[in-house]
Amino acid sequence: MRRFLYDDLLKWKADSARKPLILQGARQVGKTWLMKEFGKNEYKNYVYINFDKDNWAKSIFIQDYNIERILLILQAQTGINIKPEDTLIIFDEIQEAERGLSVLKYFCEETPSYHVMAAGSLLGVAMHKGMSFPVGKVDMLSLNPLTFNEFLLAMGEEQKFNMLIQKEWEIIKFLDPQYVDLLRQYYFVGGMPEAVASYIKNKDLQRIRKIQHDILIAYRNDISKHAPINEIPRINMVLDSIPSQLAKENRKFVFGMLRNGARAKDFELAIQWLIDAGIIKKVNLAKEPRIPLKFYEDISIFKLFLLDCGLMGCMAEAPAKLILTSNDIFKEYKGAFTEAFVHQQLLSKYINIYYWSSNDSKCEIDLMIQKEDSVIPIEIKAEVSVHSQSLHTFCTSKYNGIKGLRCSMKSYIDQDWMENIPLYSVESFL
């Protein structure tokens, strides 16, 4: 299974200023597989330590940060002779090791010739609990569920992938029914690696939903095990509300949908816990479409997305028949699946994603990103019918000169003030 982040790992390995690498990402997005695959393919040997499962390893950093001593213990336990440049050292679930993150600083400062990767599904949660972080002493990358392009490659559709990358719009238009069919499948399966692998192997739809259901249970088990006891009910309330929040017309997160009289301060920690665990992604309002967007961010107004559209479908109990065969799936739930899909594709390339709304809420831009020195407002339409005044008003009246992007079920067209692209091409286009 090809993951595009592999190319970034190759760049990390070749970098003479390389530091220990922390690979971030939610549980079951494929971090362990990717690190092992990289170690197997790019090194003579790799040493894999899982601090959640290997009890002997949990305390090896308590005595001191003597790297020579630590390496001797690792060699004795694994039977692998660890050599600089030739051996990849993998520390998985590093948040479970006492002082685990801190040791990366000493690998960086004292033995930079050793190649070290670390990962943890709840790293963000652990850091908010007070675990010290080696600022400036590590490199960082994030792994998300498979994108639609990665899904195409996993399905053996390399030619269709190449057409999207090359922006062969006339050929893409001819193949549109096939792309739409694959997009339907991705809406249902999503990008969690286990679900994708199972779908490719046997196309058992019930099995896919079982895998997705089990992943959601694993997330809830993490909540029960690691979250503060008094926050657990609130965390579950926020998580449970996401499908209905996204089914609203403007998708803006409304605390009153959680319970009567709910206030932001009552649920701030709950939302942050889910963000730290990588389970949800937050999209804040940008008051102005100006560079840098971060300067115009309003953290009090936001949308929340689940990390994967397949998991969202499972949580919403969306029937397979509706997603895979109905002509209405792309507009069902008021287009919630479609906006969640586009957001998921953007995550592979953009850390910060925003949205915009006028003061009177009559004009709204679904998502907005900063690309180099430009702001790109993105309108998302779940149908072939694309009548809407928001993007036109935004680009031709309110902020004349900004070119918009519309993702819809229509074919590619450039209208000077806006480009329309097929939904399934958003990752390739950007």
pLDDT digits (tens, 9 = 90+) for 81-92: 999 989 999 999
Say if residue 377 is preceded by a cis peptide, omega within 30 of 0: no
pLDDT of residue 331: 55
At residue 268, does pLDDT exceed 80? yes
Give me the mean pLDDT over the 321-346 stretch.
74
Average the pLDDT over 149-159 and give the result: 98
Beta bridge partners of 376: 369
**15-40: per-residue pLDDT in tens?**
999 999 999 999 999 999 999 999 99
Helix (H, G, I), strand (E, B) or coil at 28: coil
- Residue 328 has a pLDDT of 59
What tokens were used for 410? 């229509």
Pairing outcome for strands 374-380 and 364-371: antiparallel
| Measured distance CA(282)–CA(253) in Å, rounded | 10
Instruction: Give pTM, 2 decimals.
Output: 0.93
Superfamily of domain 5-142: P-loop containing nucleotide triphosphate hydrolases (3.40.50.300)
CA dist 302 and 299 (Å) reads: 7
Res. 329: pLDDT tops 60: no
Within 203-308, where are the H helices?
205-226, 232-246, 264-276
Q: How far apart are CA 52 and CA 30, in angstroms?
A: 16
Q: Helix count (H) and strand count (E) of the chain?
A: 18, 13
Whether residue 76 is predicted with pLDDT greater than 80 in this model: the reply is yes
Indicate the domain borders of the chain.
Answer: 5-142, 148-429
